[in-house]
Chains A and B, each alone.
Chain A
Amino acid sequence: MSDVYIIGGGMHPFGRFDKSYEQIGSEAAALALQDAGVQWRDIQSAFMARMYLPATSGPRILRKLGSTDISIIDVEAACASGGAALRQAVLAIKSGDVDLALVCGTEKMPRGFMDPSMIYSPWQVELGISQNPSYWAMRAMRHMHEYGTTEDQIAKVAFKNHKNSVHNSYAMYQKEFSMEQILGSTLVCDPIRLLEICAPNDGAAAVVVASEKKMRQLGAKGIRIAGISHSISRYSSDFRCPAESMSATIDNLGPTEVTAQRVYEAAGIGVEDIDCFEVQDTDAFCEIELYEELGLCPVGEGGRLIDSGEVAIGGKTPVNMSGGLISKGEPIGASHLGQVVELVNQLRGNCGPRQVEGAKVALGHVLGAGGNCAITILSR
């Protein structure tokens, strides 16, 4: 089967805008088409990742580009929606059904904690077992207990990501914060603080994907999708599902470990071959746990990895060069495609002060409700 390439990418900044979701999404789609050098009428199939938007958001957003009769479907897989949508486009091309597809992620979300009725049962909401950050915070507490990870190490992740965001005009916050400011910011759910957490917001990102044959016909120079995988968590492997209960007898691999194993194997690429990463920093602790689950360090050593400086720009394996979700915010449907656009630009060498020198292989990762996890590996 032929490889699939990203031949263009575009983003609407992540933030809060006095604009409709149709406007935000169609702007990103138009930029991706322009970057690819193709017209909307050339696209044979389109996929819209979104979670908090109404039914048929895809057609509503993309009709702004002109009327069409192609297949446009909405894809929802919680925080991994963008990865699930991109995977559908890759499968459509690999099957031979189409040669050229558009994948867009769009979201427009209210401020503050996410609407709990989307993922929790009514009784959990009544008892207050329904605040997303509390689940991630409980993972952090257990990790600190088992491995001695510290609040300082968690704050260092937020420090790094805020620092990286200064050069990213697509991020909601483009501001550096001191360790004192981060550790002095209000506790949301112990041990996680306000400056260590991502905010739901508005944004969109899109890519144009093509078969190798189509890319050559167009004379485009694409970034190869070396691997893409999406999974949900196995039984009792991640209490951020959100779970009512967990097993005390079965210890299954978590969703990131499972998805990473699948995609590394399919791509024939190991973690040691990857030059830079964009990962789901829902909160700063989560990034520490992901270092371990993606294989950047052994289990329990995530805190020491952030201490080492290896995950900073200029280090051996930079993580979240864009500033991560902590700086960009998390417009859920758009977040993975935003990572992919950042990584395409990294592999093209277009990232200016946040460029990872000589990057050839890059990985994007998202993880959320239901243990939905998606990983995309790109290669130039």
Chain B
Amino acid sequence: MAAERIAIKEGLFAGPLDRLDEVHLAGSRCGACGETSLGATSSCSNCGDESLSPVVLSDAGTLYTYTIVRHRPPGNYQGPADFKPFGLGLIEIDDVIRVMAPLSTDPEQLQIGMQLKFHPYVLRTNEKGEEIVAFTYDAVGE
């Protein structure tokens, strides 16, 4: 039997975690102000209203800005033991939200305005044997 899977943050994803090609980023649209918050949330991050509707965010994104993390991040970082510099970006989706995410593409090839695609993956297995699903963005065409 396949391992149970859970999202790295509750409510971050829409779709069945055992079929990663059907998983997308989740959002919550506010019925009062129209703003979209990341993930399933109980109140709007702009106005605090609680009349939220779940939305599924598009897998396609555009790189709004980025940096290259050149040194191992502090604390409980779960990236490769043999640290490799990686891109970190703010990715604009559906003209409504910009999401902060690690980028899997070659950091030296990053450019503001480039097209990216959402990519969910299994980061690690926790102490209960559950697989933790995280996300990154790939360059389109990779």
Q: Nearest B residue to A236 by beta-carbon distance?
A: B46
Interface size of B in residues (CB-CB distance below 8 Å): 44
Counting from the closest, the 4 A-B pairs by CB-CB distance are A137-B67, A142-B65, A128-B73, A245-B38
The reply to whether A248 and B102 contact each other, CB–CB distance below 8 Å, is: no
Please, how many angstroms separate the alpha-carbon atoms of A138 and B90 in the complex? 8
A residues less than 8 Å from B34 (CB atoms): 249
A115 to chain B, nearest CB (A): 7
Q: Is A1 an interface residue (CB 8 A)?
A: no
Q: Is A239 an interface residue (CB 8 A)?
A: yes
Please, how many angstroms separate the alpha-carbon atoms of A113 and B76 in the complex? 13
B57-69 vs A: 1/0 string, CB under 8 Å? 0000000111111
The reply to whether B70 and A113 contact each other, CB–CB distance below 8 Å, is: no
Supplied contacts A138-B66, A235-B45, 8 more A-B pairs, CB within 8 Å: A123-B12, A125-B76, A126-B132, A138-B67, A239-B100, A244-B99, A246-B90, A246-B100
Q: Is B141 an interface residue (CB 8 A)?
A: no
Q: Is B92 an interface residue (CB 8 A)?
A: yes
A104-131 vs B: 1/0 string, CB under 8 Å? 0000000011111100011101111111
Q: Is B129 an interface residue (CB 8 A)?
A: no
B125 to chain A, nearest CB (A): 13
B110 to chain A, nearest CB (A): 9
Q: Is A141 an interface residue (CB 8 A)?
A: yes
30 chain-A/chain-B pairs, Cβ below 8 angstroms = A112-B74, A113-B73, A116-B75, A123-B8, A126-B8, A126-B123, A126-B132, A127-B8, A127-B123, A128-B73, A128-B79, A128-B102, A129-B101, A130-B73, A130-B74, A131-B71, A131-B74, A134-B69, A138-B67, A141-B67, A142-B64, A189-B68, A189-B88, A244-B38, A245-B99, A245-B100, A247-B96, A247-B97, A248-B93, A248-B95
Q: Is B134 an interface residue (CB 8 A)?
A: yes
B16 to chain A, nearest CB (A): 20
The reply to whether A134 and B98 contact each other, CB–CB distance below 8 Å, is: no
Q: Is A190 an interface residue (CB 8 A)?
A: yes
Please, how many angstroms separate the alpha-carbon atoms of A117 and B77 in the complex? 11
Q: Is B86 an interface residue (CB 8 A)?
A: yes
Please, how many angstroms separate the alpha-carbon atoms of A117 and B39 in the complex? 21
Q: Is B35 an interface residue (CB 8 A)?
A: yes
Please, how many angstroms separate the alpha-carbon atoms of A116 and B73 in the complex? 9
Interface size of A in residues (CB-CB distance below 8 Å): 43
Q: Could you list which residues of chain B lie within 8 angstroms of chain A, going by C-beta atoms?
A: 8-9, 12, 34-39, 45-46, 64-71, 73-79, 86, 88-90, 92-93, 95-102, 112, 123, 132, 134
Q: Nearest B residue to A130 by beta-carbon distance?
A: B73
Please, how many angstroms separate the alpha-carbon atoms of A121 and B97 in the complex? 20
A residues less than 8 Å from B12 (CB atoms): 123
B residues less than 8 Å from A128 (CB atoms): 69, 73, 77, 79, 86, 88, 102
* Segment 212-239 of A: residues with Cβ below 8 Å from B: 235-236, 239
Pick the most buried of A116, A131, A137, A139: most chain B CB atoms within 10 A of its CB.
A131
Please, how many angstroms separate the alpha-carbon atoms of A129 and B92 in the complex? 17
Q: Is A297 an interface residue (CB 8 A)?
A: no
Given A239-B90, A245-B37, A248-B96, is A125 in contact with B73 using a C-beta cutoff of 8 Å? yes
The reply to whether A121 and B98 contact each other, CB–CB distance below 8 Å, is: no
A residues less than 8 Å from B8 (CB atoms): 123, 126-127
* Segment 72-117 of A: residues with Cβ below 8 Å from B: 112-117
The reply to whether A123 and B67 contact each other, CB–CB distance below 8 Å, is: no
The reply to whether A141 and B97 contact each other, CB–CB distance below 8 Å, is: no
B32 to chain A, nearest CB (A): 13
B residues less than 8 Å from A235 (CB atoms): 35, 45-46
Q: Nearest A residue to B94 by beta-carbon distance?
A: A248
Name the one of A125, A142, A246, A247 contacting B112, with C-beta atoms under 8 angstroms.
A142
The reply to whether B65 and A190 contact each other, CB–CB distance below 8 Å, is: no
B residues less than 8 Å from A130 (CB atoms): 73-75, 77
Name the one of B70, B112, B132 contacting A190, with C-beta atoms under 8 angstroms.
B70
Q: Nearest B residue to A143 by beta-carbon distance?
A: B65
Q: Is A187 an interface residue (CB 8 A)?
A: yes
Name the one of B66, B98, B134 contacting A247, with C-beta atoms under 8 angstroms.
B98
Q: Is A145 an interface residue (CB 8 A)?
A: yes
The reply to whether A116 and B65 contact each other, CB–CB distance below 8 Å, is: no
The reply to whether B65 and A145 contact each other, CB–CB distance below 8 Å, is: yes
Given A247-B97, A248-B95, is A138 in contact with B70 using a C-beta cutoff of 8 Å? no
The reply to whether B46 and A138 contact each other, CB–CB distance below 8 Å, is: no
B residues less than 8 Å from A125 (CB atoms): 73, 75-77
Q: Nearest A residue to B134 by beta-carbon distance?
A: A127
Please, how many angstroms separate the alpha-carbon atoms of A236 and B30 in the complex? 15
Q: Is A188 an interface residue (CB 8 A)?
A: yes
Given A128-B86, A139-B65, A245-B99, is A189 in contact with B77 using a C-beta cutoff of 8 Å? no
Q: Nearest B residue to A120 by beta-carbon distance?
A: B75
